Amino acid sequence: MPTPIDATKSALRAQVIAARDAVSESERARKSRVICDELEAFAEEVAAGRRGLTVTAFRAMGSEVDVSAFVRWALEGGWRVAYPCMLKRSEAASTDVPGLPVMRFRYITAAQLDDGADAFFKHPMKSYASADPLLAESPLCEPESVDVVVVPMVAFDERSFRLGYGGGCYDRFLPRLGAQAQIAGVAFSEQRVEHVPTDAHDVQLPRIFTA
């Protein structure tokens, strides 16, 4: 059953998405490039000259920050990159919460990004069965192997709490990361709010890159 805080989050979510949508496409592109530059510097610091590390990113939906430039930089630099993939709820494991969305990460390649063929990451909200042919060339990425996590968000506040889309997928994913994982949220400055209402399960981000 929805709670009063759920209603507050829903109203704030609609308000901030409208503000984000109001930013011009050219300005969003400029801001996204600034954020990607910051992510690249951050990732270089984390890597400290090592190669073959793993980063999770995401495909922008609507007016979200576009991190595709960072993804290409990472792939060209020898990083492994994984994108979120939503699974059908019938595929939930014992570690998932019954009735809630099921998110896993799967590796992608530069060739997949450039290929005109269909791919799971081109449909961020679609749910797949594990045996779907579209997933065959994208192995699972286990949370324990991730070195850098780039987290999308709807809103954030000065305490570095984030408001997502309401499914709780990242709140369940982030605690499963290994000790080496470095987490970075990304958002436009227009998405900053005075206060994000929080529940006990909401995760505070260690850093947020914005422009």
User: Where are the extended beta strands (E) located within the chain?
Assistant: 54-56, 80-87, 102-108, 127-128, 140-141, 148-151, 155-156, 162-163, 182-187, 208-210
pLDDT at 83: 98
Which structure tokens are listed for 84?
């979120």
Per DSSP bridges, beta strands 182-187 and 148-151 are parallel
Specify the amino acid at residue 108. I
Q: How far apart are CA 173 and CA 155, in angstroms?
A: 18
Which structure tokens are listed for 116?
């005109």
Assign 3-class secondary structure to 60-99.
Answer: CCCCCCCCHHHHHHHHHCCCEEEEEEEECHHHCCCCCCCC
Residues 6+ apart with CB under 8 A from 95: 176
Q: What is the pLDDT along the chain (211 residues), one digit of tens a residue?
A: 567 788 999 999 999 999 999 999 999 999 999 999 999 999 999 999 888 899 999 999 999 999 999 999 999 999 999 999 999 998 888 888 888 999 999 999 999 988 767 889 999 889 999 999 999 999 999 999 999 999 999 999 999 999 999 888 999 999 999 999 999 999 999 999 999 998 877 889 999 999 9
pLDDT at 95: 81
Of the CA atoms within 13 Å of residue 175, those in its CB half-sphere come to 10
Cα 141 to its chain centre, rounded Å, is 14
CATH code: domain 4-210 is 3.40.50.10420
Which structure tokens are listed for 16?
């901030």
Q: How far apart are CA 103 and CA 89, in angstroms?
A: 9
Q: What is the DSSP letter of 152?
A: -
pLDDT at 2: 61
Which residue carries 């999308």 as its tokens? 152
Which residue carries 């529940």 as its tokens? 199
Are 105 and 128 in contact by the 8 Å Cβ rule? The answer is no
In the chain, where are the structural domains located? Answer: 4-210
Are 156 and 205 in contact by the 8 Å Cβ rule? The answer is yes
Phi, psi dihedrals of residue 112, rounded to the nearest 5°:
-65, -40
